Amino acid sequence: MFPPSIQKLVKIFSKFPTVGPRTAARFVFYLLGLEKEEVKELLDAISTLKEKIRRCSFCFNPFEPAQISNKLGSGEGENELCEICSNPKRDKSLLCVVEKETDLETIEKTRKYRGRYFILGGTVSKLKKQGVKDLRTEELIQRVKNSEIEEIILALNPTPEGEATLLYLERLLKPLNKKITRLGRGLPVGAELEYADEETLSSAFDNRK
Amino acid sequence: MFPPSIQKLVKIFSKFPTVGPRTAARFVFYLLGLEKEEVKELLDAISTLKEKIRRCSFCFNPFEPAQISNKLGSGEGENELCEICSNPKRDKSLLCVVEKETDLETIEKTRKYRGRYFILGGTVSKLKKQGVKDLRTEELIQRVKNSEIEEIILALNPTPEGEATLLYLERLLKPLNKKITRLGRGLPVGAELEYADEETLSSAFDNRK
Amino acid sequence: MFPPSIQKLVKIFSKFPTVGPRTAARFVFYLLGLEKEEVKELLDAISTLKEKIRRCSFCFNPFEPAQISNKLGSGEGENELCEICSNPKRDKSLLCVVEKETDLETIEKTRKYRGRYFILGGTVSKLKKQGVKDLRTEELIQRVKNSEIEEIILALNPTPEGEATLLYLERLLKPLNKKITRLGRGLPVGAELEYADEETLSSAFDNRK
Amino acid sequence: MFPPSIQKLVKIFSKFPTVGPRTAARFVFYLLGLEKEEVKELLDAISTLKEKIRRCSFCFNPFEPAQISNKLGSGEGENELCEICSNPKRDKSLLCVVEKETDLETIEKTRKYRGRYFILGGTVSKLKKQGVKDLRTEELIQRVKNSEIEEIILALNPTPEGEATLLYLERLLKPLNKKITRLGRGLPVGAELEYADEETLSSAFDNRK
């Protein structure tokens, strides 16, 4: 019903995370109502994104290299590190494995964790069809092997998908003989005992202090 | 916390309707994971949108002129009509005023209404600060005056904003001496009497048949 | 796990409408915390309920006969009418058929309807297993036949169950040659066109005014 | 609008936890539709509840004394213990303080905790107006003082009310020189890191293992 060029953009926006066709249509009409300069700003921001952003050669976190480091620039920048990985104050004996970029951000905001990260790039079951080959498991093993890392924190969601990934990684990393931990379960802020599931409540008793 | 080029795009996406900073961040990481060709496809779709899409000179509905009409092209295409407005089978004695493009789409899907539309471009209270000058009220009056239009259906949401707009338009259009109607209130499909508000239930009694 | 007398009461409360076992348990602990007089008040209110309340011999609405009418009392009170049915100001040419008592209450609150009611006692599909024999259909036909009733308003929920009941009643009442109406469909207060289903929106166009 | 005897029962039911006037009305109409024997069963269950159920003289958990213990019965049964408190296998060095009866039930279902309980009877802020005098704090102190209890687990909800109560009890119990613990915070089953609050996530890191 929409004209073809609107339909096409609706289809593209519908693939964005959390976006359905109805919201995608609202995005298109929003764009139609923008000034030319605003559209140009969006186009520029999208098109320069991939140029400006690199993935950290250690943790795969997207980062924007400072200009100085560009000048020094070692060709393709293959060994460039993000701000966290290049920070000498971060504890190199700790490695926190997360599913995705936003999980890293969330953990950083707590200022609780002072080690380094590793972004796995997904979970086991989401990638079922194509096996687990899209997870950065080889890179993870390589980072851990013969390193100064002493503890690997598998900071995965306590969801079925996260659990499956956690078990998979535990098997994979076991031969490397490092301490492997997982995040503590318990009652979250604001919870009520009465509505807590048994596993969560049991963990809350185990972790009492 | 995000690098500047990510922050910038997060800020732009956060202005999209229904999008908050968290979802905007997910959009950016989604874009970072796309193939180059996929990003190019998005950029093309956005940048050609404004070129390809025109607003109907009668109802302001966005449409994509067929190539033939382009060849005939009357200079700036100022008098181009969308498919609905140029359809000789649509009843020109009816004009349905809607707030926005998606409302027009929703009504078209019912196949109930066979007249023409007019997209007002907003509601009264949303635009409070800048007055109502952004609503296409002058264009609406011009379309109605001395026309073959007999009934103006004010198809606005039965929300406080929609109601305010409806009252405003009723006052505005009154001097033109046309029949002015509003959509019927009543129980929607799936409703339960017990939870209906009094106004809705009263209307359901009035509109019984 | 609960002691037997608590378990028993939990089981009974679990049959109350909208109550699950967890809420039922909260009810029991609430009762355990009440003062003796408060429990007595509850017991009295429940036990006298059936004695004091009669069902209107016309519409089946529960009502409490005034003491005077009791004194006059014709034995079993079989012909007693509720306040609505005995009110000479109510329009006897209108009959509004509702599923249950609370629907009647909701309609009365609108002060829109000034005729009489008939409480059907359920819907068709809820009672599927036992047929429709529990609905007061015979009593309904008897009330309508050879009466001064001119219009029967089938005020049933626009839900699948309500619709099935409505169609069933229409067939049943057709031979009586009365005007049969149903409540008007349309947009309820606060709705947004964009999210309205097609049937509701079509009705809103039909009922415009 | 309802007759007085219905109104009265609606009012009483409206005081039940989680029940509003609308649900209370549904309860009354449900009762009106019950058979006489069913109403009698409800009345019996309510009226015998207080007779049959006693509160454990140690933990205040409601329980139903077995007939044998009644025969032995020491007059007023003041020293009667519930099944948990009289179970020799329960660890008497542990005391778990909970707000209410259903919290005890929830914890018992996990089969994680093998000590005894103490039902406080409320939280601090709920009882603000009347001070904290309705909480069983004196009884709690008495149970703990000079007892074999070694650890007191304050199993209160991680809500503002629960937190306030926890702090209050910690101050109160401190002079008794027992180990005082609280339930562990962390990610509950099914949670997603991305949506976890900072305090919960920090605790999840602290409690990792």
* Chain D CB contacts of A208 below 8 Å: 153, 181-184
Per-residue pLDDT of A55-81, as tens digits, reads 999 999 999 987 544 444 444 555 689
Running DSSP on this structure, what letter comes out for residue B183? Answer: P
Residues of chain B with pLDDT under 70: 67-79, 126-132
* Chain D CB contacts of A196 below 8 Å: 106, 188
The percent of residues in chain A predicted with pLDDT above 70, rounded, is 90
Q: Closest chain B residue to C195 measured between Cα atoms?
A: B106
> Is 1.10.1200.120 the CATH number for C89-209?
no
> What is the rounded CA–CA span in Å between residue C3 and residue C32?
13
> What is the rounded CA–CA span in Å between residue B77 and residue B55?
10
Q: Which helix (H) or strand (E) holds A154?
A: strand A151-154
Task: Give the neighbours of chain C: at least 3 Cβ pairs within 8 Å.
Answer: B, D
The pLDDT assigned to C137 comes to 95
Query: At D70, which amino acid appears?
Result: N
Per-residue pLDDT of B53-87, as tens digits, reads 999 999 999 999 875 444 444 445 556 899 999 99
- The two beta strands, B54-55 and B62-63, are antiparallel
Per-residue pLDDT of C127-148, as tens digits, reads 555 556 779 999 999 999 989 9
Residues of chain B with CATH 3.40.1360.10: 88-182
Task: Give the neighbours of chain D: at least 3 Cβ pairs within 8 Å.
Answer: A, C
Q: Closest chain C residue to B200 measured between Cα atoms?
A: C188
* Chain D CB contacts of A156 below 8 Å: 193
DSSP-derived 3-state class of residue A118: strand
| Per-residue pLDDT at D83 exceeds 70 | yes
Q: How many CA atoms lie within 13 A of B113 on its CB side?
A: 35
Q: Which helix (H) or strand (E) holds D96?
A: strand D91-98
Q: Look at residues B192, D143, B140 and name the one whose alpha carbon lies nearest to residue C99.
A: B192
Q: How far is D174 from chain A (nearest CA, A)?
A: 15
The pLDDT assigned to C2 comes to 87
Q: What is the DSSP string of A18-81?
A: T--HHHHHHHHHHHHHS-HHHHHHHHHHHHHHHHH-EE-TTT--EE---HHHHHH--TTTTT--
Which among A6, A48, A109 is the nearest to B62, CB-wise?
Answer: A6
Per-residue pLDDT of C37-74, as tens digits, reads 999 999 999 999 988 999 999 999 999 987 544 444 44
The pLDDT assigned to A67 comes to 55
Which among A32, A62, A102 is the nearest to B62, CB-wise?
Answer: A32
C-beta neighbour count of C178 within 10 angstroms: 17
Q: Do C3 and D45 touch (CB under 8 A)?
A: no
User: Do the Cβ atoms of B144 and B172 come closer than 8 Å?
Assistant: no
Going C186 to C188 to C190 to C194, the CA torsion angle's sign is negative
Q: How many CA atoms lie within 13 A of B133 on its CB side?
A: 3
The pLDDT assigned to B128 comes to 60
Query: At C58, which amino acid appears?
Result: F
| Per-residue pLDDT at C75 exceeds 50 | no
Question: Phi/psi zone of residue A172: left (φ > 0), alpha (ψ -120 to 50 degrees), beta?
Answer: alpha
Task: Give the neighbours of chain B: at least 3 Cβ pairs within 8 Å.
Answer: A, C
Radius of gyration over alpha carbons of chain B, in Å? 21
The pLDDT assigned to A71 comes to 43
> What is the rounded CA–CA span in Å between residue B30 and residue B16?
16
Q: Do D184 and A207 touch (CB under 8 A)?
A: yes
Q: Look at residues D182, D185, D190 and name the one whose alpha carbon lies nearest to residue D206.
A: D185
The pLDDT assigned to B140 comes to 97
Going B18 to B21 to B23 to B26, the CA torsion angle's sign is positive
* Share in percent of chain A as helix, strand, coil (round to 5): 50, 15, 40
Residue C145 corresponds to which tokens in the numbers above?
A: 């036949």
The percent of residues in chain B predicted with pLDDT above 70, rounded, is 90
Per-residue pLDDT of D8-23, as tens digits, reads 999 999 999 999 999 9
The pLDDT assigned to C5 comes to 93
Q: Do B181 and C209 touch (CB under 8 A)?
A: yes
Mean pLDDT over each residue of chain C, to the nearest integer = 90
Query: CA B202, C198, B191 angle in degrees (round to 5)?
Result: 40
In words, the CATH class of domain B4-50 is mainly alpha
Residue A151 corresponds to which tokens in the numbers above?
A: 């503890």
Counting Cβ atoms within 10 Å, is residue C44 exposed (0-12), middle (13-18) or buried (19+)? middle
Query: At A20, which amino acid appears?
Result: G
* Chain A CB contacts of B127 below 8 Å: none
C4-51 adopts what CATH topology?
Helicase, Ruva Protein; domain 3 (1.10.8)
User: Do the Cβ atoms of B29 and A50 come closer than 8 Å?
Assistant: no
- One of 1.10.150.120, 3.40.1360.10, 2.10.260.10, 3.40.50.720 is the CATH number of B88-182, namely 3.40.1360.10
Q: Which helix (H) or strand (E) holds A92?
A: strand A91-98
Name all contacts of D2-6 with Cβ < 8 Å and 24+ positions apart. Answer: D2/C105, D2/D28, D3/C52, D3/C53, D3/C62, D3/C63, D3/C64, D4/C64, D5/C45, D5/C48, D5/C49, D5/C52, D5/C53, D5/C64, D6/C49, D6/C53, D6/C62, D6/C64
Q: How far is C178 from chain D (nearest CA, A)?
A: 30
Query: At A58, which amino acid appears?
Result: F
Integer CA distances (angstroms), D172 to D94, D140, D177, D180, in order: 18, 10, 11, 11
Residues of chain A with CATH 3.40.1360.10: 87-182
The percent of residues in chain C predicted with pLDDT above 90, rounded, is 81
Radius of gyration over alpha carbons of chain D, in Å? 21
User: Do the Cβ atoms of D8 and C45 come closer than 8 Å?
Assistant: yes
Per-residue pLDDT of A75-130, as tens digits, reads 455 568 999 999 999 999 999 999 999 999 999 999 999 999 999 998 987 556 55
Quote the crossing angle between the two packed helices A36-52 and B21-33, to the nearest 10°: 60
Q: Do D101 and C29 touch (CB under 8 A)?
A: yes
Name all contacts of A12-19 with Cβ < 8 Å and 24+ positions apart. Answer: A12/B41, A12/B42, A12/B45, A16/B27, A16/B30, A17/B23, A17/B26, A17/B27, A17/B30, A18/B23, A18/B26
| Per-residue pLDDT at A13 exceeds 50 | yes
Q: Do C49 and D5 touch (CB under 8 A)?
A: yes
Per-residue pLDDT of D110-140, as tens digits, reads 999 999 999 999 898 755 555 567 799 999 9
> What is the rounded CA–CA span in Å between residue C172 and residue C169?
5
The pLDDT assigned to D72 comes to 46
Those residues whose C-beta lies under 8 Å from the C-beta of residue A66, and which sit 6 or more positions away, are none
Residues on chain D bordering chain A, Cβ-to-Cβ distance under 8 angstroms = 98-99, 102-103, 106-107, 109-110, 112-113, 153, 155-159, 181-194, 196-209
Mean pLDDT over each residue of chain D, to the nearest integer = 90
Which among C9, C32, C50 is the nearest to D39, CB-wise?
Answer: C50
Q: Closest chain D residue to C21 measured between Cα atoms?
A: D102
A87-182 adopts what CATH topology?
Dna Topoisomerase Vi A Subunit; Chain: A, domain 2 (3.40.1360)
Q: Do D209 and A106 touch (CB under 8 A)?
A: no
The pLDDT assigned to C68 comes to 46
DSSP-derived 3-state class of residue C157: coil
Dihedral angle, C-alpha C46, C50, C53, C57, nearest 10 °:
150
> What is the rounded CA–CA span in Å between residue D76 and residue D86?
18
Residue A50 corresponds to which tokens in the numbers above?
A: 């991939």
pTM recorded for the entire structure: 0.79
